Amino acid sequence: MSARSGTDHGPRTIEAGAPPTRYARGWHCLGLAADFKDGRPHEIEAFGTKLVVFQAEGTGRLHVLDAYCPHMGGNLADGTIKGDALACPFHDWRWGGDGRCAGIPYAHRVPRRARTRAWRTLEENKQLFVWHDPQGASPPEGVTIPRIEGAFSGEWSDWTWHTLRIDGANCREIVDNVVDMAHFFYVHHSFPTYFKNVFEGHVATQYMTSDPREDMTAADTLSAQGRLRSEASYHGPSYMIDHLWTEVGDATVETVLINCHYPVAPDAFVLQYGALVKKLPGMSDEEAAQAAAQASEGLAAGFEEDVAIWRNKTRIDNPLLCDQDGPVYQLRRWYEQFYVDAEEVGAEMTDRFEFEIDTERAVTVWRAEVEANLASRRDAATAGEG
Ligand code: FES
Ligand SMILES: [Fe+2]
């Protein structure tokens, strides 16, 4: 072999720069709004700092402030809600939801410049969102969280909700899933048959149809009993709404899943997910709640499978792709819009981009693999009998 061919076909070197120290611009879901409405302040570790969420007693509104008090650094999450303000546990300075100091009981007057950082909030879909922008600007026109009608309808279950902190990985890992068809087969034990992505503006969508894998028991697979159609969109960098239609016997079960996260540090994030299920005719509230819990359990199992991969994988900036992989580079270009200054957002990040994987080859090979697994299981069963 010549030295030249060695250079042309040498092993690929993984490039893995440090994860960005900056956090994405956008709305980030902190959890179900009701969970913050218990009369206590709540600490949230996010964006490389600590925040505090509290509900004003009078207005009932949820507010988010920097957790550390600008007086002498007390942690407001250990404080007490007094009226519409949050009182610091250290010297009882009162902080309003707008970030202004609303009173210092032991002082003649409040210093004119006594202000802390108040984060812009939004309550939608019975969830609480906070706006993060390193440049300090307000959300641009049209950049908001779409309303999910099912969250406000008696025809649907209530939200299930789960929180999982992931250390040792940057949140780009979860966003990469949007284009990663093959991992659904290998990691999540479902069987994708149709897979398409569309990116446009601040929205990135994955359209997928998948079948259950006959070689897997229900416990092995997150895709339910029947064929599953899924339309999942990230609205901004971190909040995905996934509409799912599952065939169960003659019925189609409609589910909405939320998959969202917020960064804690460059190598840690908090993943949150929940489900709503539309009641089938004749379904009671309890049955709907049970169906939602089941959908949620499937999701939980799925995320655990992802986490097992993330825990031991490396960051990779130059993935080596094949023809049945989705558009990882284009997705990352889309994702980049949330990490650069607003003036730097280019058309290549936001222009409409569509890509459908021709799944023919993958489906053929996967079918054969499923058949082979079933055959060897049958053989093992026969041998057991004999
Ligand atoms: S540190 Fe908060 S009141 Fe003094
Ligand atoms: Fe995954």
pLDDT tens column, 229-287: 999 999 999 999 999 998 888 888 899 999 999 999 999 999 999 999 999 888 888 88
All domains of the chain, ordered by start, with CATH?
26-132 (2.102.10.10), 155-370 (3.90.380.10)
Q: Which residue's CA lies nearest to atom 3 of ligand 1?
A: 91
* pLDDT of residue 210 exceeding 50: yes
Distance 247 CA to ligand 2 centre (A): 21
**Rounded Cα gap, residues 36 and 71, in angstroms:** 25
Contacts of 386 (CB under 8 A, 6+ apart): none
Chain-wide mean pLDDT for the chain? Answer: 93
How much is the pTM? 0.93
Distance 78 CA to ligand 1 centre (A): 11
Looking at the CA of 66, which ligand is closest?
Answer: 1
Give CA angle at 163 (162, 168), nearest 5°: 145
Instruction: Specify the amino acid at residue 367.
Output: R
**Rounded Cα gap, residues 33 and 303, in angstroms:** 23
Distance 86 CA to ligand 1 centre (A): 11
Higher pLDDT, 153 or 294: 153
So what's the pLDDT on residue 222?
A: 47
So what's the pLDDT on residue 2?
A: 43
Ligand 1 atom nearest residue 69's Cα: 2
Ligand 1: residues whose CB is within 6 Å?
Answer: 69, 71-74, 88, 90-91, 93
Distance 114 CA to ligand 1 centre (A): 11
Q: Which residue's CA lies nearest to atom 4 of ligand 1?
A: 91
**Rounded Cα gap, residues 74 and 109, in angstroms:** 20
Q: What number is the average pLDDT over the span 134-145?
A: 95
